[in-house]
Each structure stands twice: as structure tokens, then as C-alpha cells.
Structure 1
Amino acid sequence: MLFNLRRRKDVLHLLTILVIISLPALVSYNTISQLEVIQANGSIRVATRNTPSAYYIDKSGPAGFEYELAKAFADDLDVEIDLIIPDTINGLFQTIEKRDAHIVAAGINISSARQNSFEFSTPYAQSISTVIYRLKQGTPAPKSIDDLIGKKTLVLANSIQEEQLVNIKPAHPNLTWQVTSELTNTDILDKVFSQEVDYAIVDSNVYESQSSFYPGLNSAFTIGHSQPIAWVLTPNQDGSLKRAVNKFLLKPKTKALIKKLTEKYYEKRNPLNYFDTVTFKQDMDTRLSCLEQYFYIAEQETDFDWMLLASIAYQESHWKADAVSPTGVRGIMMLTNAAAKEVGVADRTDPIQSIRGGAEYLLNVKRKIPERIKEPDHTWFALAGYNVGFGHLEDARVLTQRANKDPDKWDDVKEFLPLLSKKKYFSTVKYGYARGQEPVQYVANIKKYIELLEWEKQIQQIRKARDASIRAEQKEKNEPAALIELQSIPATL
């Protein structure tokens, strides 16, 4: 009996040991991974910021380097992307800490301090902190950290730039700076441009992508060394999401996409000079705001993008309703008497008549362009015809074809339009002499204005969304606690 009891205890101990040994395998077998949960739910939560380089809404929908890259990853997993848009950099990290987001995709630099607290993906870009200043006659550019002492220097709160300044503070005890959690890097550049602060310190990628839209700003020197940029990931023991992200980022297809997105979002260039850019911004504030609704109406009537129409109007009159040229054309769209009569405009100086009439006239010209010509060339031909006349445009296409080049390509035809001012060429075509260089410059200028208008509107939209978010948060904080209805109070407390 005693033997049997002892034997039973031995068997029980053995079974217990076997269960303990097998438990990790059993748990691993029965527990699905973080990646599998994401795929099963059909969505991945991505936190980002509402900035020109990360994420914003344009006329075609969501856009931005980080958005497009994260969307490509979501597509790779065959899931939807759910965006979380915190107002601050600290808010981004909080979404990871609270596990509200699976990924932070917002151009975040990796640093030693951040690596101690957060999980990062394989880097996909590099940047370095750059000191930005406003060019002023008689004021030398800062050359070192010592030149920032006693000056107003602005950086984003919780940014890598703030972290770097904190690290170098012991070596420069008199160094001070201002931080902001409410602004974006674009706003900070605005502050330097308007001379509200002396210097800003931002990522080199951000500055290089926006510098041409802030003529007069320049980079002085860099701080620290180049820092890798990566996604921040929710920590998870199984590591499945991190492996999937890294595998995605290392694919040749993804590397090609990153290169394409870098060119699209970080290599934007403002083709206007300093004076033209400043004047355009001023005219946007003082003139366009009163006319914008009319361009929207014309867009609905003709299907032309309102920014295209507004850019034509700026090229024609700088948005002046009473503009008059020496040749007698007048109004915002600078219509001739004949063109106004064709589209039924009675008063060329009436803004809404001029804008709607100009759009209708452009549509008439566009209908004359062969349908086989693809966009955007079809529109560029229409603009050239709007400027110089359809007949002269056709003459230039004839010259283009004679030279064995493509008369349906704007880049080819624009080489031959200027030849219409030379007798050797205009004497051989139907409509004769024309100032052919003008439509070439006309189209080039409108392209420039479209690009600058898109940029300014993009920034306005981002700021509007940010302000709305701040107001909503403030309203939520200020609302009184809900009152308890009397009938819901229990008889005893």
C-alpha cells in the first residue's frame, strides 16, 4: 500500500514536470501572433501627423510620404489603414505607449534615448538637424552654437532637435531656446521668414523640401550627425509585426516606392523667384479670397480645376478685376471684345462674368484640340491656344511635324512656337507672324502658379485641420460634467 502511494506520487510529479515543460509549446500553439490579429481584424492602426511631408488631404484624397508608404504596407498585408492624428510629437509616442496604434509613421528619428523606450523598424531614410536663419543685409550668418546664445531659437517640443539641445546645454550653459508643441516645422519656418524668431532648428529633409517656398531663408550649419528615420512599433514579444514591417521595407519594390515618394514630397521646387513668391502670397491673402468662390463655380460649369483657372487669372491680371492692357483686353481673365462676345460676357470687369466667361472660352479652345492628345499636354495646348490663338498653335504643330518631331507633344511643339516670329518660318504657314515665345512663357508661368497655389492651399488646409482639432479639445475640456437625472439616483447611496 505504501509502495503504491509512493509510486502514485512519483507519477504525479512526473506528469507535473511534463506539463510545465510542454506549457510554452502549448501556449505558443494556441496563441495567434500580433500580425495575425491585425490581419484577422482587417485593419492596421497608424499614427501620423498632419504635415506636408507626412499626411494631408489634397484634391485627390489622402496624400503625404508617410501616408503613401504606410498605405502600401497595409495593402501588402491586405488590410485597411486606420489613421490616428495626434497634434504633437509627444502624442505620437503616447499612441504607442497606450497601444492605440500599431505603428507611428511620421518621419521619426532614431536616437539612443528613444531606442531605450521604443521599438523601431529598419530605417528607410536619413536626416540631420539644420539651423535655419533669415538672410538680412549686414547680418552675418550664425556659424556655431555660440552664435545662437542670446537669440530666439525655436524647435518642436519632444523633437530630436530638442533632445540634441538638451545634450549640448552643459557645454553651452548660456544657450536657451523656445519649444512649441502646437506648431509644425512649416509654421516654424514661417516664424523665421516673418522674423518673429531669429533661428529655427529642423530636419534637413523638411527644410530642403520647403526652402524654395521661403525665399530669403538659408541653412547655416548642422548639429550632431546624420540620424536614421524609421517607424515606431508597438512592442510585442512575438515580433511578428516588426518582422513584417522590416521585410516590407527591404523589398526592392518598396525601395523603388520610397525613391519615388522622396522625389514627390521632398524634392519639390518653387520655380518663382523671391519677389514673385512674396507678391503671390500677398495677392492670395488680399485678392484671391474674394474671388475663390467664383472659380469654384466655373469649375463646376466647365470641369476645369479651379486652381488652373485661378492660375490663368493670376497670369492674366494678378486677380485685378479692373485690369486693362494697352491692346484693350480687360478684366480678371483679360478677355478681348471678340472673346467676351463669343461666351456672352456683357461686362468684362465684372469678376464672376469674367471668370465664368474665361473658363467657357478656354473650354471652346480645348474642344478644338485633337482628342488623341493626352493630358496634361491637351491642357497645355489649350492654354497656348487661349494665349496666342488656335491658328498660330496649329502653325507651330505643322512646323513641329516638318522637323520629324511629335506635333501631339507639348515639349516638342513649344520648341517651334518661338519660330513663328521669324519670317523664314512664319512665311511658310497659314496664319503668319506671331509672338510665339509668349505662349511658351504663358504656359510655363501658369504651371508655376499652380504649383505654388497647391502648396499654399495645402498648408492652409493643414493649419485649418490643426486649429479645428485644438478647438475641439478645448471645448471638450471646458464642457461641464453631465448632470445625473433624478430618476437615475438610487434610493440608497
Structure 2
Amino acid sequence: MLFRAPLLLSLLALGGCDVHEKNQTQQEQIQARGALRVGTLYHPLYYFLRDDQEEGLDYELARLFADSLDVELTMVPAYSLDELFALLDTGKVDMLAAGMTITPQRRQQYRFGPSYYDIAQTLVYRKGSSRPRDPSQVEGEIRVLAGSSQAESLHSLQLELPELHWETRRDTDAEDLLRQVAEGRADYTLVSDILLARTQRYYPNIEAAFTLGEPQPVAWVLDQRTDDSLLGQMLTFFDQQQAAGTLARLNEKYFGHVQSFDYVDTRTFLRRTETILPSYQPLFERYAGELDWRLLAAISYQESHWDPEARSYTGVRGMMMLTEDTARQVGVSDRLDPEQSIRGGASYLSSLMDRLPDAIPEDERVWFALAAYNIGLGHLLDARRLTRLREQDPDSWAAVKENLPLLHQPKWYSKTRYGYARGRETRQFVNNIRQYYQSLLWKDNPGTDPGLTAQHENLPAEPET
């Protein structure tokens, strides 16, 4: 008995821990563990690594959600939708955050948080081939991802159109399906309108044929259980982020630069990244400082199309289109010298970022600085004043860019310090640079990294409480 007493006490202690854990809510289990485990997919909108830094819309929101729970965030990337749902089904993650659409079939198996944006299912074809106007005109095969909402939509559609031909793929991702269409290796694919808009910058010969069905909401996914503690916290969290303007800021960051597609401009830009950019890339890298050299290159393309001899009727010149005053300010003696121009443009942009009000969020300062680069700091500050006058947030780029065109209108510029300015052109200027910048980031492919080791292999499953 003397030998059994410690063993009995240990068993009782272990049993007590097990009972305690089972009595905990899901939120309490996460807080006891000290980490929120989030399943995701590598994707420029969801989660990716750039220069060893985690980024993505879903990552940023998940990080804030983990902060609200006072725990660490552990992102668990999967390499397919099947694998992603398996992580949740086996208890290896607490939730999924990967641009998941809410569909009838998924609602039968899972719970969803509040929607934070909508997508439209869009059929994509190759430019130059016959464009179908509706599903009945589709001649050929539609390729979609296995387990995707697109596959679910096509399955339902085939009940009405038995002759519809489509197949699912498990060994790829949505962007690769778009690449297959662009290269003529697939007839069609069905993807979200947002992915198409972002990807056309890289594959300019793909085009939208038509939209299928109504827009679908995107939300985080939870498993089915009677315990709603985490879901309740999630609802509160999204309400708070909506009120704080965080959702609007992230919407601007990830979607604000997506605009109407220009086929000719995109083809020209991609061609010049191969023929002209390599000659000047070392200069952009040398003078970027704390800036991303690809941002400098994007500015230069917008300004001069990487032409060191570029001139404007307004008197600006060179790769970075500097005025005479700005050139003197940053120590540039020859505006047509590529090295001096790039060095001067980088220095000027950095100085503008330093001179902006401290209240502007760090991740939006660059867009304000780009606007000031184009229109002048005084006019940008006027646009902020008009934004405040209209009871909007002057520290939000989404709000300020909508008010920039007011600088055209006497009713509004008469209320400003610096008067009339071409605010509409400045808004387009910034949007164009953001598009070129995203294209250069994609070209370098520093984001989604399929070579990274998945983190979920050794994660223990947890029982439902």
C-alpha cells in the first residue's frame, strides 16, 4: 500500500486535470494553452512570407484576434483545401482563416464567423478564344479546385445543365489554374473575381466571361460544437474592428489598388521588366534605404516608364520626374542622370514620409507620401483637412483618396490653404504605382513559399468539449 499511495494520488491528479479541461470552454482552452492555432493557405490575400515576415489579410486579422484573447498566434499553413479542412476536423487547429466562402454544403458541417468581404464566382477564358456569355455557351472543360466553393457551384449547376463538362484538381491552386488558362493548357476555370483582378496583372491574356450566381460572403470557419465561446468572442472582435476602422483600413490595403484592367499597359509593363528594368535594378536597390526597391521601381515606371530622358510639359524630368526645386533640395545636379534621379527620388520620398503627421498608421504612410510626391505635401494636407471637414478619418488613406478629387472643385478648394490641385490624377497615380508594385512583388515571387515545411504534422488533436 505504501507503494500504491503515490500512484493513486497521481492518477487522481491526472483525472482531475482531465475533468478540468473538459469543463473548460473552447476559449478557456485556447487561453490556457497560450496560443490560437489558425489553419490557412499560402496566398497573397490569406497568408504568406515576405523577407521572413508574415503578411496577408487573414494573418493580420488573426493576429489582432489572438491579441484580443491575450494569446500568441500560431499560423498553420496547409497545401490544399482537403488538408485544410482536415486540420479543423481533427482538432489540430482552432479555426480556419483562408478566404473561405460560406456555402450551403459547408454550413451543414461547420460554423462561420461574420463575413468581412464578398466574392463573385467568375468564369475565366483565354483572350482570343470564343467568349461564353452564360453557362449554356461553355464549350470545353472547366477546371476547379477539389473541395472548393466553385466545385460546389458547378455540381449544383450540372443538375440544370447535364452536358456541362468540368473536373476538379487536387494537385494545384487557383492561381495555377489561371496560369493554365493563360497558357492554353485549360479551356476555362472558375475563380473569385478578386483573384482574377489581382492576377490579370501577371497574365494579361485571361479575361472574365461571366459571373456565376450571387456574391458569396467570406468568413472564418469553426467546427461544429455546442460551445459558442470562441464564436461569441469572434463576433465581438469583428464589431470592435469595424467600429475602430480596422476593417476599412485592411480593405484599402489589400483591395484598394485593384482597379479596371488595362491589357496594353500590362503587356508593355511586363515586357519592360524583362528588357529595361534589369539595367536599373542595381540602382533602385542601392538607394532604396529603408524603402522596398520595387516600390521605387514602380514609382519610376509610373513617372517615366524607366526612360532616363523622359520630360514633361510641366518641366519635370528624368527617371523619377523631379522638378528643379526638388532636385536642388535633394542635391541632384543632373536630373537626366539615372543614378542621380533615382537617388534623389528615394531621398525625397523618404523625407515626405518623415514629414507626415504621426497619427497616420505606419502601413498607410507610404500611400500618403506617394500622393504628396505627385501633388505636393501642402495639397495633400489640404485633402486631409477636407476629409476632416466632411467628418471622415483624415488618417485613413481610403477616406483621403476619395476626397482628393474635391481639390478640383471651387466649392471645396476655396476652403483650403493651397487651393486648386489635380486630385483625381493623384488618386490614379497612387493606384497605378500600387498595381505596378504588386506586379513586381509577384515577379520576384517572395510570398507563398511551397518549400516551407508545414507546421501541423506534430500538433496534437484536442477533443471537443
TM bucket by the smaller chain? Answer: 0.5 to 0.7
Matched, 1:456 2:439: yes
Matched, 1:86 2:74: no
SS in 2 for 1:468: coil
Q: Distance in 2 between matches of 1:336 and 1:293?
A: 24
Amino acid at match of 1:468: G
Aligned partner (choices 298, 312, 330) of residue 311 of structure 1? 298
Q: CA deviation at 1:318?
A: 2.0
SS in 2 for 1:53: coil
Q: Distance in 1 between matches of 2:92 and 2:354?
A: 55
Whichever structure has more helix as a proportion of its residues is 1
Q: Distance in 2 between matches of 1:252 and 1:361?
A: 37
> How has the CA–CA distance of structure 1 residues 348 and 247 changed in structure 2, closer, same or farther, with 3 Å as cutoff?
closer
The residue that corresponds to 2:135 in the other structure is 145
Question: In terms of mean alpha carbon deviation, does 99-108 or 354-363 score higher?
Answer: 354-363
Matched, 1:355 2:342: yes
Q: Distance in 2 between matches of 1:370 and 1:467?
A: 38
Contact 2:371–2:430 (Cα < 8 Å) also in 1: no
SS in 1 for 2:288: helix
Q: CA deviation at 1:320?
A: 4.1
Contact 1:56–1:62 (Cα < 8 Å) also in 2: yes
SS in 2 for 1:48: strand
Paired-residue identity, %: 30
Q: Distance in 2 between matches of 1:30 and 1:101?
A: 17
Q: CA deviation at 1:222?
A: 3.9
The residue that corresponds to 2:99 in the other structure is 107
> How has the CA–CA distance of structure 1 residues 466 and 123 changed in structure 2, closer, same or farther, with 3 Å as cutoff?
same
Question: In terms of mean alpha carbon deviation, does 45-54 or 233-242 score higher?
Answer: 233-242
Contact 1:307–1:450 (Cα < 8 Å) also in 2: no
Amino acid at match of 1:121: F
Aligned residues: 405
Gaps of 5+ in 2: 1-14, 382-388, 390-399, 410-419, 458-465
Q: CA deviation at 1:296?
A: 2.5
> How has the CA–CA distance of structure 1 residues 351 and 193 changed in structure 2, closer, same or farther, with 3 Å as cutoff?
same
SS in 1 for 2:448: helix
Amino acid at match of 2:287: A
Matched, 1:276 2:265: yes
Q: CA deviation at 1:185?
A: 3.2
Q: Distance in 2 between matches of 1:362 and 1:93?
A: 45
Q: Distance in 1 between matches of 2:209 and 2:336?
A: 48
Q: CA deviation at 1:333?
A: 4.5
Contact 1:213–1:270 (Cα < 8 Å) also in 2: no
Aligned partner (choices 53, 67, 80) of residue 59 of structure 2? 67
Q: Distance in 2 between matches of 1:95 and 1:369?
A: 47
SS in 2 for 1:99: coil
> How has the CA–CA distance of structure 1 residues 441 and 332 changed in structure 2, closer, same or farther, with 3 Å as cutoff?
farther
> How has the CA–CA distance of structure 1 residues 440 and 224 changed in structure 2, closer, same or farther, with 3 Å as cutoff?
closer
The residue that corresponds to 1:468 in the other structure is 451
SS in 2 for 1:465: coil
Q: Distance in 2 between matches of 1:49 and 1:76?
A: 23
The residue that corresponds to 2:111 in the other structure is 120
Residues 281-430 of structure 1 mapped to structure 2, 5 A cutoff: 281-300=270-289, 303=290, 306-320=293-307, 323=309, 332-333=319-320, 352=339, 354-356=341-343, 358-360=345-347, 380-383=371-374, 411=404, 415=408
Q: Distance in 2 between matches of 1:317 and 1:205?
A: 29
Amino acid at match of 1:288: L
Q: Distance in 1 between matches of 2:200 and 2:137?
A: 22
> How has the CA–CA distance of structure 1 residues 91 and 311 changed in structure 2, closer, same or farther, with 3 Å as cutoff?
same
Q: Distance in 2 between matches of 1:40 and 1:368?
A: 42
SS in 2 for 1:131: strand
Matched, 1:36 2:28: yes
Q: Distance in 1 between matches of 2:246 and 2:358?
A: 30
Q: Distance in 2 between matches of 1:185 and 1:159?
A: 10
Q: CA RMSD in A?
A: 5.0
Question: In terms of mean alpha carbon deviation, does 66-75 or 227-236 score higher?
Answer: 227-236
Contact 2:50–2:446 (Cα < 8 Å) also in 1: no
> How has the CA–CA distance of structure 1 residues 195 and 346 changed in structure 2, closer, same or farther, with 3 Å as cutoff?
farther
Q: Distance in 1 between matches of 2:219 and 2:49?
A: 23
Structure showing greater Rg: 1
Matched, 1:447 2:418: no
1:362-382 CA distance string (max 9 Å, x none): 779x69989999866666445
Gaps of 5+ in 1: 1-22, 398-404, 417-435, 477-493
Amino acid at match of 2:293: W
Q: Distance in 2 between matches of 1:372 and 1:225?
A: 42
Aligned partner (choices 206, 221, 239) of residue 232 of structure 1? 221
SS in 1 for 2:219: strand
Amino acid at match of 1:147: Q
Amino acid at match of 2:296: L
Q: Distance in 2 between matches of 1:166 and 1:206?
A: 21
Q: Which has the higher contact order (CA 8 A, sep 6+)?
A: 2
SS in 2 for 1:129: strand
Q: Distance in 2 between matches of 1:340 and 1:225?
A: 52
Q: CA deviation at 1:142?
A: 1.1
Q: Distance in 2 between matches of 1:244 and 1:329?
A: 54
> How has the CA–CA distance of structure 1 residues 33 and 413 changed in structure 2, closer, same or farther, with 3 Å as cutoff?
closer
The residue that corresponds to 1:203 in the other structure is 192
Q: Distance in 2 between matches of 1:335 and 1:252?
A: 43
Q: Distance in 1 between matches of 2:350 and 2:174?
A: 40
Contact 2:318–2:337 (Cα < 8 Å) also in 1: yes
Amino acid at match of 1:36: E
Amino acid at match of 1:284: T
Question: In terms of mean alpha carbon deviation, does 95-104 or 444-453 score higher?
Answer: 444-453
Amino acid at match of 1:456: S
